[in-house]
Structure 1
Amino acid sequence: MFCTGDDDGVIKLWDPRKSQEIRRHSHHFDFISDFLWLGDKKQLISTSGDGTLSVIDVRGKKPEPFAQSEDQEDELLSIVAIKNESKVVVGTQLGILSIFNRNQGWGDCVDRVPGHPQSIDALCAIPSSYPSSHSTILTGSSDGLLRAVQLFPTKLLGVVADHGSFPIERLAVDQNGEGRWVGSAGHEDTLKMTDLKDVFEDENSDDDENANAPSDEEASADREGVEVENTQAQAPSDGGEDDALSVIDAASGDESQDSEAPKEKKRKWKGNKDELAGKKKKGRNEIDADPSFFSGL
């Protein structure tokens, strides 16, 4: 099944096996600018020049849409989903990005991001392999510039491609949105292919550094390994592991026994005393001299 939208605001659902459309929706009164498919709900979202977007349940048979927004007082030209399809970004004629939150309904947008000098005719998401893919989109404007815009927080990341003065009508990333090349088509009948790695190379370098950097667990394991190696290097290697442990235990046991045993006090040897001899007093003019001193006199 596929769908088409014409300049009168009529949406048609087709079966390739049949020559006529299987369903028709005519709730828009101006041209249909873009479509977005929500696979989880089997819903088709359309944007129109009448200033509204509508949600069609392809499983139903009613001609009325499942939901339709209020008039945004601006032509809605392009649409893309971000944040795992929980939010939808719409590009307008005045160069404003209108953000719709699916959890809060389709009645009105929840935020507006100005900044583009001219209309935003095409929108595209970047591959999910980039860390900022949940909040970064590619915008094609009628001024001929393909830009990379971050929404949370709002920031212009740079110009991806330049079509000169020709408006950009369509954007797409290869490999079903997960490749490295983005194609942009403008009114100059030229398809430009731009390498996204040249635009988001900073994010890739940050990922490589984080991937090569060891985690906390690996760093602690390396430190423990170094400590174990230092311990083994200090232990004696001749007698093996058991001998080294026994020598260390014996040395520690001797030290513990020496530290626990009481130390005996050392006494000075004074020799044998003659208790009957009494104390001998030295005379006033008496000196102690070696007998050999007087032998030569």
Structure 2
Amino acid sequence: MPDIPVGAQIFDLAFLPEQPLVTTGLLTGYIKAFSYDEQGNYEEKFSIRPSKKSCRTLAVTEDGSKLWAAGKAKAIYTVDVGTGEVVDTRAAAHDVPINRMKRLLPRLFASGDDDGVIKLWDPRKQEAVRKYTHHSDFISDFMWLDDKKQLVATSGDGTLSVMDIRSKKLEPVAQSEDQEDELLSILPIKGGQKIVVGTQLGILSIFNRKNGWGDCVDRIPGHPQSIDALCAIPSRYSNAQSTILTGSSDGLLRAVQLFPTKLLGVVADHGEFPIERIAVDMGGEGRWVGSVGHEEVLKLTDLQEVFENDSDEDEEAESGSAGSDADLDMENGEGGSDEEGETKTGPSKSEVKDAVEDEHVDEEEGTKEKAADSSDEEDLDPEPRKRKRKKEQDPLHAMKRRKGKNEVEAEPTFFADL
């Protein structure tokens, strides 16, 4: 499918659960929705601007009829997807900009802000039903554990926390030790028994629920830059329990197999633009994976082409040696080299985001909106990066070259059509 231009940097995307429609939240405050089909055609369904300040996060109701949007304006807007109109506004929902939201139950959703405050909301009420203040830095991502009715949050303060929504206590039931790194994304694997966390230093941290939430049990190095987004693949694929999609600041959307750990290949390439969010349509069971970054386009990639075209040759490919270069040895001491370089020299994700939004506001006050969008993109390009560590070349890092197109040294026919 061709890229869908939206006219400004995209902060978040959300698919409707049962129809081919995707919504995007933009730096300019606009919320734009697009329909699409299997032939790659798309059409803009609506474009609204609840606030002139950036829209950072989106969440969709269980039936897909309503959309919650929030961002730097500190308010939560409820949008009717059918009409494309704002039907409810929770003004000053937080004291500072809202960074993430997630639907938990049909009548409950969560929001997290730049100061680490988490609030639970009943869509039928204007005021929050619960508030947690145990984090000291921005909330980067949420994960819902339906079996225990627990909400797990990751934060820029280096910890994750677990909240039992059935408890009336305004404190978490568990909180990890300081991981000495910003935790940016979170995803369950192995039926929810293991948890993968993406970090600022490009390490995948593995938590085991049976061992508690105090500390990770494995650290998987390899990504050359921060892992800002994680996503599961549809359950119909045989390796869905142990294969994830990772979105990194180096602009690559990768397919990574865990236990054993192996890079399967590159799903999409955003060039030099960092990937901020990824999601699979149709409630995570669809055909298309959407990825967005600092460029002004929404990229939709066909998962059928990635995972199904050469399924008949999988056994033959596995018997060969082509995939050996992509295997990551978890016991060869690579993790130690990562720990040596944990000192961060650049600004945090929250600081970079605030700077981008402030630049947008300054430009918009004196020029037309289109000129403001253009200046924002230029300001994003020199985004400071953390100091890179010199160590032995690993397969995840090797996927990115200074010049030329990306090549996959994995199973030879696995990504033949990319």
Q: Does the alignment reach a TM-score above 0.5?
A: yes
1:132 deviates by 1.1
Normalised TM-score (structure 1): 0.68
Identity %: 76
Partner of 1:114: 221
TM alignment of 1:267-278, pairs within 5 A? none
- 1:11 corresponds, among 107, 112, 118, to 118
Partner of 1:167: 274
Partner of 1:258: none
Partner of 1:181: 288
Unpaired runs of 5+ residues, structure 2, are 1-107, 317-418
Stretches (4+) displaced over 3 A? 206-209
- 1:63 corresponds, among 141, 165, 170, to 170
Unpaired runs of 5+ residues, structure 1, are 210-297
Name the SS of the counterpart of 1:175 in structure 2: coil
Counterpart CA distance in 2 for 1:35 and 1:121 is 13
Partner of 2:208: 101
Deviations 1:135-154 (A, max 9, x none): 11000001111000111111
| 1:2 paired to 2:113 | no
Partner of 2:263: 156
- 1:124 corresponds, among 231, 241, 247, to 231
- Structure in which a larger fraction of residues adopt helix: 1
Normalised TM-score (structure 2): 0.49
- The aligned amino acid for 1:85 is G
Counterpart CA distance in 1 for 2:313 and 2:209 is 32
1:201 deviates by 2.5
Partner of 1:31: 138
Deviations 1:133-188 (A, max 9, x none): 11110000011110001111111111111111111111111111111211111111
| 1:20 paired to 2:127 | yes
Q: Given that residues 89 and 99 in structure 1 are in contact (C-alpha distance below 8 angstroms), is that contact kept between their aligned partners in structure 2? A: yes
- Structure in which a larger fraction of residues adopt strand: 2
1:64 deviates by 0.7
- The aligned amino acid for 1:141 is S
Bigger CA radius of gyration: 1
| 1:75 paired to 2:182 | yes
Counterpart CA distance in 2 for 1:64 and 1:6 is 17
- CA distance change for structure 1 residues 203 and 79 in 2, over 3 Å: closer, same or farther? farther
**Bigger relative contact order, structure 1 or 2, given CA contacts below 8 A and separation 6+?**
2
Name the SS of the counterpart of 1:140 in structure 2: strand
Counterpart CA distance in 2 for 1:175 and 1:84 is 19
- 1:89 corresponds, among 196, 203, 206, to 196
- The aligned amino acid for 2:304 is K
- CA distance change for structure 1 residues 20 and 75 in 2, over 3 Å: closer, same or farther? same
RMSD of equivalent CA atoms: 1.6
Partner of 1:145: 252
Counterpart CA distance in 2 for 1:188 and 1:12 is 31
Partner of 1:196: 303
- CA distance change for structure 1 residues 118 and 19 in 2, over 3 Å: closer, same or farther? same
1:206 deviates by 5.6
Q: Given that residues 148 and 157 in structure 1 are in contact (C-alpha distance below 8 angstroms), is that contact kept between their aligned partners in structure 2? A: yes
Name the SS of the counterpart of 2:283 in structure 1: helix
Counterpart CA distance in 2 for 1:52 and 1:203 is 41
- The aligned amino acid for 2:116 is G
Deviations 1:51-108 (A, max 9, x none): 0000000111111101000000110000000011111000000000000001110011
1:204 deviates by 3.4
Deviations 1:172-216 (A, max 9, x none): 11111111211111111321110112211366336999xxxxxxx
Q: Given that residues 54 and 65 in structure 1 are in contact (C-alpha distance below 8 angstroms), is that contact kept between their aligned partners in structure 2? A: yes
